[in-house]
Amino acid sequence: MGEVDPAFIQEPEHRARISYIEGEGIPVIDLSPLHSPNDVSAFEGLVKEIGNACKDWGFFQVINHGVPLEKRQKIEKTSKRFFAQSLEEKRKVKKTEKLVLGYYDSEYTKNVRDWKEVFDFIIEEPTLFPNSHEPANDKELAGWTNLWPEYPPEFRETCQEYIQEMEKLAFKLMELVALSLGLPADRFHGFFKDQVSYVRLNYYPICPFPHLALGLGRHKDSGAVTILGEDGVPGLEVKRRKNGEWVRVKHIPDAYIINIGDNIKVWSNDEYESVEHRVMVNSEKERYSYPFFLLPALSTVVEPLEELTNEQNPAKYRAYNWGEFISNRNQSNYQKQKVENLQISDFKISE
């Protein structure tokens, strides 16, 4: 590539720095107590650790999480085989404005193009379309149907096995989050019947101008919780809540990186934080990651939980419809727009 396509160029204040701070402080949480629930004090200690990490960072890593390493290795390998194909092959399963799942190579974050390719697949194909309580017609449903490539042959099975593991871990995390807020463990479960949770395979190719572009621009995840696996090539940076400094997340083999999304920030009435993060690219090595986004049903109305608000601590957000929110986001991911896309701050009640 000779000329740099201006679509990829970040404003100077958002570009990568050559030197970086490695995030020693990002909590690493051992989930072993989940597997021996009779040890009450260890379990209580875990709940407390989760609560503190959600408040102080909105980001943490987990070890002894129970996801078999072999499943993770399999999806990483399969993803590499898929992205190694020609653009022509990959575009056979390309997503469009109407078809929101599959392969895509030109996503925008905050109106700047990301240096990446993605493949999205959903855990269950939903029966309701955004903002509608009527049974969806065939055309609308097609938008939320998984597209599976022919190659590699094991792709579909590997992806489906992996997403099942992610769902299990995500529900355990949601139980810990609920307990840490003083709520019953299953408080959030009802939101995820007809969930639209998905896995995104991210591929960040080698970039000849890593000082100008980003693999993924700064953003917050809008769902409940994200479980991120990555291949160990450095790149992910998190904006530290305490001082706004960007810190690079240290790779711990077989750990998962967890981040709290905007849904939890709103449900907890700002007790817990969803934090900005971004991905650097480099000129020597490509990078692969595979986040799972736990997302509620499209018909969900997201608002601060009643149990966590009162006269002294009134709701800080107006209720919003999750289906509408997500379809607005989907549109803005495909093309550069004049305005920034919908944010939860648009629903903030001014104090």
Ligand X SMILES: O=C(O)CCC(=O)C(=O)O
Over the window 23 to 62, marking each residue x when it contacts ligand X by CB under 6 A and - when it does not, the resulting string is ----------------------------------------
Per-residue DSSP letter, 91: G
Alpha helices in the chain (DSSP H): 40-56, 69-83, 87-90, 138-142, 155-180, 262-267, 322-332
Q: State the residue for tokens 């639209």.
A: 196
218-247 binders of Fe ion (CB under 5 A): 221
Pairing status of strand 277-279 against strand 287-294: unpaired
- Residue 107 binds which entry of ligand X, Fe ion, none, with Cβ cut-offs from 5 to 8 Å by kind? none
For Fe ion, the closer CB: 126 or 261: 261
Which listed option, ligand X, Fe ion, none, makes contact with residue 90 (CB within 5 to 8 Å by class)? none
Binding ligand X (rule: CB under 6 A), the pick from 277, 281, 333, 344 is 277
Whole-number Å distance between alpha carbons of 255 and 69: 10
Q: Could you give the CA distance from residue 137 to residue 125 in angstroms, rounded to a whole number?
A: 13
Written as one letter, the residue type at 51 is: G
Is residue 113 near ligand X by the rule CB under 6 A?
no
165 binds Fe ion (CB under 5 A): no
* Encoded amino acid at 301, one letter: V
CB of 244 to ligand X, least distance (A): 18
Q: Which residue is nearest to ligand X (CB)?
A: 289
From Fe ion, ligand X, none, interface partner of 200 (C-beta below 5 to 8 A by class): ligand X
- The verdict on 158 binding ligand X (CB under 6 A) reads no
Region from 73-81, 184-192, 228-236, 295-303 binding ligand X, contact rule CB under 6 A: 228-236
- The least CB distance from residue 305 to Fe ion, in Å, is 24
Diameter over CA atoms, the chain: 62
Q: Please confirm whether the linkage preceding 152 is cis (ω < 30° from 0).
A: yes
What is the rounded CA–CA span in Å between residue 293 and residue 184?
Answer: 22
Q: List contacts with Fe ion (CB under 5 A).
A: 221
Q: Which residues bind ligand X (CB under 6 A)?
A: 200, 202, 216, 221, 228, 230, 236, 277, 279, 289, 291
